[in-house]
Amino acid sequence: MESIQFEDFFIIPRNIYRIIGRDPLKMTKTTENNGTLFRVYGVLMFIYYTYLVTGEAVNIYFLFNENILWSFGAASCVFFCLTGHFKEISFALSNKAVLNAVAELRDMFPKEVKLQKEYKVQEYFHATHFMLKVFVSVCFGFAFGWAAYPTIKSTIKLIIFGPPYERELAYFIYYPYDPFENNWYYILTFIGEFNGACMAAAFFLSVDLILLVIVQNCCMHFDYIAMKIETYSPSQNDEDDSQFLNGLVELHIKILKLSSVINDAFQLCILFNFFISSINSCLIAFPILFGGLEDAIKGSLFLAACLLQVWIICFMGQMLIDSSESIGGAVYNHPWYTGSTSYNRQLLIILQRSQKAATLKPPTMKPSSRQLFMEVMTTTYRFFCLMKTMFGDRF
């Protein structure tokens, strides 16, 4: 088995961050000149991305009463983009704490192949990358599909029915020029909007991908502690037993503290995810139900991305709870009754700490879990019913 490096877990999040010109974890080795160019690129992309979002918001303001169904669909896109903005700002405010937590996890990461087998690093690595790839594929699939759909449709019409080619764009953004005036304006505008869709997906994903990798690493350590305790048989030698437990107690304390730091650093990001994804799910439901087939297809892709984001955060939270609580079960399941009094006293300390699970808890809400996912979905549906009552007669 080849040795896996800690940085390998962050390959996908780092590549996503390169799209928006950022390296928040400082893992990319660059020269001073390249670093400056990279930062300039990041600033320019952020300004351009902000312009696209603002341009669509301006059109929503002017066209809301004329076409409320389109306005709901466009508003969901704006909120989708704003989610990334809010999360990046929140993440930037807590970036130092996250960097320190990642540095500690790097120091604790098993380096030797033999130890990595005990930790099951390869299994966690493949499971983490599978979840990352699914999440990235769904979100970028939605972004690319939404941006390219009008062009694909017009191209198919041109092939089947012949000229003229219908110039269409995916987003109704305010431009200081007419994007349909000539071919060059249209092509450059389409490329710009396609790039904007790519940026939106990257902003939407970036923070969540880092959180997923960090949580997986924390769970790996919790599960390792549980496995070591459950498979250990006390030797009746206080020195050997104490030496065995001292290392695990120290590791347990570190991981619990890191889990608390991670929760504090990402709690606002998680709150934004739940709040805006719920709003987006409600808004996009109207074009899906009351629009045409095209609106239903594009809206379904959008809805899948929003629901998947909420589910992944709740899944990560549930995984963290289960892994941290499994240590208590391991203490009960191993032959503790054959150990000495001092050994059992140390076990009691671990048991007491494991009673309070590590969590991902957004402010004012319950910890992220399967139960919270069901409650968020229930609340989202109620909000949709309320909006349908308010605006139903206008569709």
354 or 267, which is more confident: 267
Question: If you write DSSP's letter for every residue of 227-252 in order, what string do you get?
Answer: HHHHT----S-HHHHHHHHHHHHHHH
The 10 Å Cβ neighbour count of residue 388 is 16
Judge whether 94 lies within some domain: yes
Which residue range forms the structural domain that includes residue 317? 6-124+203-394
Judge whether 187 lies within some domain: no
Average pLDDT over residues 66-81: 74
pLDDT band of residue 28 (cuts 50, 70, 90) is: low
- Across the chain, mean pLDDT equals 83
Q: What is the dihedral of CA 228, 231, 236, 240, to 10 degrees?
A: -30
pLDDT band of residue 29 (cuts 50, 70, 90) is: low
pLDDT band of residue 311 (cuts 50, 70, 90) is: very high
Judge whether 30 lies within some domain: yes
Judge whether 130 lies within some domain: no
> In this predicted structure, which of 61-75, 105-119, 363-377 has the lowest mean pLDDT?
61-75
Number of compact structural domains in the chain: 1
Question: If you write DSSP's letter for every residue of 93-149 in order, what string do you get?
Answer: HTHHHHHHHHHHHHHHS--SHHHHHHHTHHHHHHHHHHHHHHHHHHHHHHHHHHHHH
And the tokens for 198?
Answer: 């790519």
Judge whether 306 lies within some domain: yes
pLDDT band of residue 10 (cuts 50, 70, 90) is: very high
pLDDT band of residue 32 (cuts 50, 70, 90) is: very low
> Is 167:180 a contact under the CB 8 Å cutoff?
yes
Distance CA 41, CA 43 (A): 6
Average pLDDT over residues 149-168: 82
Check whether 67 has a pLDDT greater than 70.
no
Distance CA 392, CA 395 (A): 6
Distance CA 181, CA 188 (A): 12
What local confidence, expressed as pLDDT, does residue 318 receive? Answer: 93
What pLDDT digit, counting tens, does each position of 36-58 carry?
776 777 777 777 777 777 777 77
Tokens 């009463």 belong to residue: 65
What pLDDT digit, counting tens, does each position of 195-222 carry?
888 888 888 888 899 999 999 999 999 9
> Is 114:122 a contact under the CB 8 Å cutoff?
no
What local confidence, expressed as pLDDT, does residue 33 receive? Answer: 45
Tokens 């409600």 belong to residue: 282
Average pLDDT over residues 72-84: 77
What pLDDT digit, counting tens, does each position of 317-332 carry?
999 999 999 998 888 8
Judge whether 166 lies within some domain: no
How far are the Cα atoms of 223, 238, 306, 332 from residue 335, in angstroms, in the given order? Answer: 18, 15, 46, 8
pLDDT band of residue 392 (cuts 50, 70, 90) is: low
And the tokens for 26?
Answer: 């400082």
Judge whether 42 lies within some domain: yes
> Is 204:80 a contact under the CB 8 Å cutoff?
yes
pLDDT band of residue 66 (cuts 50, 70, 90) is: low
Chain centre to alpha carbon of residue 114: 32
How far are the Cα atoms of 13, 14, 40, 128, 256 from residue 25, in angstroms, in the given order? Answer: 10, 8, 18, 18, 21
Judge whether 254 lies within some domain: yes
Distance CA 56, CA 174 (A): 6
What local confidence, expressed as pLDDT, does residue 63 receive? Answer: 65
